[in-house]
Amino acid sequence: MADKRTLLEIRNLYKIFGAEPQSALERVKGEGLGRTELMDQTGHVLALSDINTKMREGDITVIMGLSGSGKSTLIRHLNRLIEPTAGEILLDGDDVLAMSNDDLRRVRRERMSMVFQNFALLPHRTVLDNAGMAAATRGDKRADYEKDARQWLERVGLGGNADQYPHELSGGMQQRVGLARALASNAPIMLMDEAFSALDPLIRTDMQDLLLELQAELQKTVVFISHDLDEALKLADHLVILKDGYVVQQGEPQKILLEPEDDYIVDFISDINRARVLRVRSVMNKSGDPATANAVEVDHDDTLESVLAKSEGEMQARFVVTRDGATVGTLDMPEVVKALVPAEASESGMRTQAT
């Protein structure tokens, strides 16, 4: 499969809040000041520090970290709701920071939609009107966008609620309206800022499943902000982990779990249920001999939890790994067990929880 092209790219991005951000930036770059030092010495807040990352077309990029890590500040730079102190933001090769106000408005209306944590619905408009808001803002007539808005409401499970008002819906239903509004805009990029964090756990899981179901069909480029590691691991094609405004590690989630590059990441993932998250494709032997007698067939995307169930406790069990009906490798129980043992938490003992 050919590599996906980069649709969004952030280069050397800094954001400093304070009276003299450029002066503070010179000290960050020249003296290597971190967030605490900058605040103590200048009273400025280093919200983002030298961020570099790429969002590939059709992927879900999850940017996660604990409260205050800079993740919500970062996503608001993509459509310039927040202006950076320094750096570049490229949208399909075009510099977002160099766009005129008219071009920027066009980007927000046609190329990037946004789903907020607090739903951001207009209370005096019906569910249908809220779903069609992007088209109405562009100047489209109701007759032109109503059918499309109704179709998206149907897709997110709100086909019978079009004439209701937001206050008549539950929180989960209101967030579905927000999702329908983003989809009805037909924008290729969806920015989702803690979109599910205000929801009850079961509703949150349903919304995650709905997003993955729609994404499998629509292949949007999604930038998703989360503070929840389980949610990030479930949704992400590419995971970016922030701490104190800088990127600690980024990459394919499976690789981060198996090869943490920093004590902070080790602590961050130490309590995750690895059997439910790790996939066969991440630990299989691609060069193994598949002609093993009595080998059990597993799919490359199965979790190790399902592999354990199929082993029936037999430590000598061997598995043939398939993808779309073709054999792509093998897996033995010792490799499964090894993958389930996490790296030891750092001596700092932070045991940081992503909740």
- pLDDT band at residue 34, thresholds of 50, 70 and 90? very high
Q: Cα(233)–Cα(221) distance, rounded to whole angstroms?
A: 17
User: 81 and 217 in one domain?
Assistant: yes
State the pLDDT at residue 226.
94
Q: Cα(55)–Cα(50) distance, rounded to whole angstroms?
A: 16
The DSSP element (H or E) to which 73 belongs, if any, is helix 71-78
- pLDDT band at residue 349, thresholds of 50, 70 and 90? very low
Mean pLDDT confidence for 100-112: 93
What CATH number corresponds to the domain at position 63? 3.40.50.300
**Residues sharing a CB contact under 8 Å with residue 30, sequence separation 6 or more, in sequence order:** none
- Residue 4 falls inside a structural domain: no
* Domain that residue 224 falls in: 55-251
* Angle value at C-alpha 136, between 134 and 140, nearest 5 degrees: 115
**Residues sharing a CB contact under 8 Å with residue 215, sequence separation 6 or more, in sequence order:** 60, 222
Sign of CA dihedral 107, 109, 114, 120: positive
User: 169 and 287 in one domain?
Assistant: no
What CATH number corresponds to the domain at position 324? 3.90.1280.20
State the pLDDT at residue 117.
79
Q: What pLDDT digit, counting tens, does each position of 286-308 carry?
A: 876 666 667 889 999 999 999 99
What's the total number of domains in the chain? 2
State the pLDDT at residue 352.
41
User: 247 and 148 in one domain?
Assistant: yes
Q: What pLDDT digit, counting tens, does each position of 118-136 carry?
A: 778 999 999 999 999 988 8
